[in-house]
């Protein structure tokens, strides 16, 4: 198995579940590859045992390491992975990852016939075919706690506090932490924002006697064309932009347009680090167990997904076909509390 892409809380719980059920109940041997797809590309892995994975359930990060290595941008990537699988006599690969890692897994299976199973993880919660990914609950929890803390200092100083959260091109973390933290406006990538409208909401609060405001902005949020300047961004091996910085641009704009003192907090990787919530530990464990069961049955090209409260197997290609983004009706619930 391997863990790829950005790390998230719950990865170690999933690793432990795969090892425990794989060895104790199915009688398999499990190899853990280092640093995402780099591991099988370079045959860099070692055997994992029940003993070597003890005590990792509550630990954040991943004991296997991770990277954003794309096997399709490396010379002979799929061929080298096949060589590793064959030379070690592996039955198949379990790739724990988000959109990019699982996108590569789906192609390795569909286009190259490699035996691969995916496990959905990401704080962004943006994978298709599953209602939730593990890591998301912890990130929302961290962001909500931060927003609660920003509230008290914003109120004491009569300031506007802009809080930038992660989530890539989906607004799930912003929406849920903003709702839970009582934000006065939430800006998500799904809805280009008008900075004048944000300022109107802030002024309305002032006119009602609330002299501070909390604005939660997703890193992927974009202003309506022509309403505010934006920056270009570097791209990674999968061609995805490295996001971040919208909060730093939005804060001064709000201050300039309203005249109210404004500060910006960028939560960044704090949202991804540390111990997983109980919910994420349980979800990661359920998905890990389902993944090794699927591998045992030779259900390659699949991914266990949470649908409702049930874990079911879906085609990997279905999970990566389209990003799961915030629908209008969910955003409308948050809008009730704006301004």
CA atoms of 98 and 4, how far apart (whole Å): 8
Quick one: which of 123, 127, 303, 305 contacts ligand F6P (CB under 6 A)? Answer: 123
Residues numbered 216 to 235 that lie near ligand F6P (CB under 6 A) are: 219
Task: Report angle CA 250, 251, 256 to the nearest 5 degrees.
Answer: 100
Which class for 4: exposed (0-12), middle (13-18), buried (19 or more C-beta within 10 A)?
Answer: buried
Rounded to 10 deg, the angle between the 195-207 and 246-258 helix axes is 50
124 carries an active-site annotation: yes
The dihedrals phi and psi of 217, each to the nearest 5 degrees, come to -125, 130
Quick one: which of 6, 10, 22, 189 contacts ligand F6P (CB under 6 A)? Answer: 6
CA atoms of 99 and 122, how far apart (whole Å): 8
Which helix or strand (DSSP H or E) is residue 312 part of?
Answer: strand 310-315
* DSSP per-residue letters across 89-120: T-S-EEEEESHHHHHHHHHHHHHH---EEEEE
Residues 6+ apart with CB under 8 A from 232: none
* DSSP per-residue letters across 194-215: -HHHHHHHHHHHHHTT---EEE
Q: Do residues 318 and 129 lie in contact, with contact meaning Cβ atoms separated by under 8 Å?
A: yes
In angstroms, give the least distance from the CB of 6 to ligand F6P. Answer: 3
Closer to ligand F6P by Cβ: residue 20 or 168:
168
Is there binding between residue 98 and ligand F6P (CB under 6 A)? yes
Catalytic residue among 7, 124, 126, 184: 124
Closer to ligand F6P by Cβ: residue 30 or 162:
162
Residues numbered 233 to 252 that lie near ligand F6P (CB under 6 A) are: 243
Closer to ligand F6P by Cβ: residue 79 or 269:
269
Quick one: which of 272, 286, 317, 324 contacts ligand F6P (CB under 6 A)? Answer: 272
Q: Which of 180, 182, 170 is nearest to 212 (CA)?
A: 182
Which helix or strand (DSSP H or E) is residue 265 part of?
Answer: strand 262-266
In angstroms, give the least distance from the CB of 333 to ligand F6P. Answer: 22
Residues touching ligand F6P, count (CB under 6 A): 11
Is there binding between residue 168 and ligand F6P (CB under 6 A)? yes
Chain residue at closest Cβ approach to ligand F6P: 166
In angstroms, give the least distance from the CB of 220 to ligand F6P. Answer: 7
Is there binding between residue 122 and ligand F6P (CB under 6 A)? yes
Contact mark string toward ligand F6P, 47..76, x via CB under 6 A: ------------------------------
Is there binding between residue 22 and ligand F6P (CB under 6 A)? no
Closer to ligand F6P by Cβ: residue 78 or 189:
189
Closer to ligand F6P by Cβ: residue 14 or 289:
14
CA atoms of 121 and 284, how far apart (whole Å): 8
Is there binding between residue 124 and ligand F6P (CB under 6 A)? yes
In angstroms, give the least distance from the CB of 272 to ligand F6P. Answer: 5
CA atoms of 303 and 33, how far apart (whole Å): 19
Residues labelled as active-site residues: 124
Chain positions contacting ligand F6P, by CB under 6 A: 6, 98, 122-124, 166-168, 219, 243, 272
């Amino acid at each position: 198995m391997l863990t790829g892409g950005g790390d998230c809380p719950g990865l170690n719980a999933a690793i432990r579940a795969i090892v425990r059920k794989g060895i104790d109940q199915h009688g398999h041997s499990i190899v853990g590859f280092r640093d995402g797809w780099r591991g099988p590309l370079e045959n860099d892995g070692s055997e994992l045992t029940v003993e070597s994975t003890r005590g990792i359930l509550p630990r954040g990060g991943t004991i296997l390491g991770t990277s954003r290595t794309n096997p399709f941008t490396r010379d002979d990537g799929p061929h080298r992975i096949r060589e590793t699988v064959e030379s070690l006599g592996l039955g198949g690969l379990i790739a724990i990852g988000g959109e990019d890692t699982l996108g590569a897994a789906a192609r390795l299976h569909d286009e190259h016939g490699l035996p691969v199973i995916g496990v959905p993880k990401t704080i962004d919660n943006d994978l298709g075919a599953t209602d939730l990914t593990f890591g998301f609950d912890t990130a929302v929890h961290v962001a909500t706690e931060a927003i609660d803390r920003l509230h008290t200092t914003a109120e004491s100083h009569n300031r506007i506090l802009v809080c930038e959260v992660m989530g890539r091109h989906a607004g799930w973390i912003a929406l849920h932490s903003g709702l839970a933290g009582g934000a006065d406006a939430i800006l998500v990538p799904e809805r280009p924002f008008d900075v004048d409208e944000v300022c109107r909401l802030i002024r309305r609060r002032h006119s009602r006697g609330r002299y501070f405001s909390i604005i939660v902005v997703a890193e992927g949020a974009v202003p309506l064309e022509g309403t505010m300047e934006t920056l270009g961004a570097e791209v990674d091996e999968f061609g995805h932009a490295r996001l971040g910085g919208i909060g730093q641009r939005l804060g001064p704009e709000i201050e300039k347009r309203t005249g109210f003192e404004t500060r910006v907090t960028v939560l960044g990787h704090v949202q991804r680090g540390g111990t997983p919530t109980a919910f994420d530990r349980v979800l990661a464990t359920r998905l890990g167990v389902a993944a090794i069961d699927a591998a045992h049955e030779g259900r390659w090209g699949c991914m266990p997904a949470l649908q409702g409260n049930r874990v079911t197997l879906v085609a990997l290609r279905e999970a990566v076909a389209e990003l799961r983004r915030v629908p209008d009706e969910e955003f409308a619930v948050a809008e009730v509390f704006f301004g």
